[in-house]
Amino acid sequence: MASSARAHERAAVLLERMAAAHPDEAELHLQAATRHRRWAERDRETAERHAPDG
């Protein structure tokens, strides 16, 4: 799950860069980036809940 969270974060960064490079599609790219950040947070929470104790 932690690697999945990192992948979502990387995707969000890429989408934000795409938004800057393509202003006509910026809103859609930023919306997708927001979704990826939300998924990353969920993956981190899941990994934390299922981490072995100790």
Torsion from C-alpha of 25, 31, 34, 36, nearest 10 degrees: -80
Question: Where exactly are the structural domains of the chain?
Answer: 2-49
**pLDDT range class, residue 7, cuts 50, 70, 90:** very high
Give pLDDT, residue 54. 45
Reported as a single tens digit per residue, the pLDDT across 16-52 is 999 999 999 999 999 999 999 999 999 999 999 998 8
**What pTM was computed for the model?**
0.87
Q: What is the mean pLDDT of the chain?
A: 94
CA distance 6 to 50: 17
**Are 15 and 38 spatial neighbours (Cβ–Cβ below 8 Å)?**
no
